[in-house]
Amino acid sequence: MKRNPTAFLKEEFDALVAQKLNWELRTLQGPSRPHSVVDGKEVIMLCSNNYLNLSNHPKVVEGAIEAAKKYGAGSGSVRAIAGNMAIHEEVERELAAFKGTESSLVYQTGFAANAGLIPQLADKGDIIISDALNHGSIIDGVRLSKADRGVYAHNDMGELERVLKEADGKYRRILIITDGVFSMDGDIAPLDEIYKLAQEYGAMTYVDDAHGEGVMGPDGRGMSAHFGLEGKIDVEMGTFSKAYGVVGGLVAGSRDLINYAFNKSRTWLLSGSHPPAVSGAQLASIKVLKTEPQHVKQLWENTNYFKKELVEMGFDTGNSVTPITPVIVGESAKAKDLSRRLIEEGVFALPIIFPMVAKDKARIRAMMNAGLKGDDIDYVLSTFEKIGKELGII
């Protein structure tokens, strides 16, 4: 029989559907903001990473429009050939100044930064030491490297030191990689201790600060600023797609790092550069963070109030110390029920279940937002309380 070359497409998709592992895309009919319209229904948005609501900030929107008018809709090339515009370089100068580093580099996405840079920093004969709960894009970046990979239990500094001790002397380079803020639990890496251990063992440090940028530290300058380590972490990686409200990956560090990174990262070298509108919005977003501290302040006020009230109602919010607020309910079915009921009541929050988290740690992940008003949060809280009681969670 002649082979059907594409039969697997349908077969594997159908298998995903049968296992209920397929994605069903939801549609936003309008901007992503605290009150969004999803699939025709108005909801309070608790799933967005647009922490500071900057994607709708007039100056950020204006920045995009102005840059498009001035530079056009596209850049025409990769940056290494003919697509390096003044506005791309302006973003990087502004970002480095904001982050307190010598230099910075913008990648097409956060994923492209991890997938492009990590394999260049460690090769055969080197070891990458990685937190067990690191994000999938780090895991993929690490897979592209020929280095050995050592994993330490989540945030376990004793184990990190033991792995460093084992690696010391056996490998040419040692690279420690961690998320700054962990996206499932909302807890943070002890960067001060990681930095100290790295210094002691001559290891490089790489922090994926996707959820820390614009959230942690003074003015939202990120996890290194939170720990008073500006300019000391070897590679500060982040993204413009979350608190900055735009899109794009970023790397901040020494001039040497940036020269090395853009000469070696294939994802950077072989992808077209950002459209000017994206760069214009990034630039405006950094300037808003510098000049309007009220957004970060409001995010934390909302976060602290939301968490305090949830805990007082009897919900388990785990070890979170950031606006990522897990509401841990235990069984997967319960988390799914809670999510379904919340959406019915106009609160958009999705469940996170096994195998993304342990079997008994299924949860709703609620992301706080600076754009939510007091009334909005009170409505969300009363809805959580009502359904929590209805389902016997509290």
The residue type found at 124 is: K
- Is 88 assigned a catalytic role? no
- Other C-beta atoms closer than 10 Å to the C-beta of 356 total 13
| Active-site hit among 242, 274, 307, 334 | 242
DSSP codes of every residue in 146-162: -SEEEEE-TT-HHHHHH
- Is 41 assigned a catalytic role? no
Task: Give yes or no for residue 110 binding another protein (CB under 8 A).
Answer: no
Task: Give yes or no for residue 356 binding another protein (CB under 8 A).
Answer: yes
CB 261 to another protein: min, Å: 23
- Is 242 assigned a catalytic role? yes
On whether the CB atoms of residues 184 and 335 are closer than 8 A, the answer is: no
Stated as kind and residue range, the H or E segment containing 135 is none
On whether the CB atoms of residues 104 and 95 are closer than 8 A, the answer is: yes
Select from 87-95, 148-156, 200-208, 319-327 the region that touches another protein (CB under 8 A): 148-156
CB 251 to another protein: min, Å: 21
Task: Give yes or no for residue 389 binding another protein (CB under 8 A).
Answer: no
CB 353 to another protein: min, Å: 9
Nearer to another protein, 152 or 348 (CB): 152
One-letter-per-residue 3-state SS of 318-385: CCCCCCEEEEEEECHHHHHHHHHHHHHCCEECCEECCCCCCHHHEEEEEECCCCCCHHHHHHHHHHHH
The SS3 of residue 94 is helix
Of 18, 23, 58, 392, the one binding another protein by CB under 8 A? 23
Nearer to another protein, 97 or 132 (CB): 132
DSSP codes of every residue in 278-328: HHHHHHHHHHHHHH-THHHHHHHHHHHHHHHHHHHHT-B-TT--SSEEEEE
> What is the rounded distance in angstroms from the CA atom of residue 67 to the CA atom of residue 327?
41
CB 342 to another protein: min, Å: 18
Select from 199-207, 316-324, 349-357, 382-390 the region that touches another protein (CB under 8 A): 349-357
CB 158 to another protein: min, Å: 10
Nearer to another protein, 137 or 205 (CB): 137
Of 66, 90, 102, 148, the one binding another protein by CB under 8 A? 148
| Helices and strands (H and E) in the chain: how many | 14, 13
Task: Give yes or no for residue 21 binding another protein (CB under 8 A).
Answer: yes
Of 170, 297, 308, 340, the one binding another protein by CB under 8 A? 170
Of 162, 297, 308, 373, the one binding another protein by CB under 8 A? 162
On whether the CB atoms of residues 241 and 270 are closer than 8 A, the answer is: no
On whether the CB atoms of residues 276 and 293 are closer than 8 A, the answer is: no
| Active-site hit among 99, 135, 211, 361 | 211
Select from 36-44, 91-99, 143-151, 271-279 the region that touches another protein (CB under 8 A): 143-151
CB 323 to another protein: min, Å: 18
On whether the CB atoms of residues 57 and 245 are closer than 8 A, the answer is: yes
The residues assigned a catalytic role are: 183, 211, 242
**Applying CB under 8 A, which residues contact another protein?**
21, 23, 127, 136, 139, 146-152, 159, 162-163, 166, 170, 352, 355-356
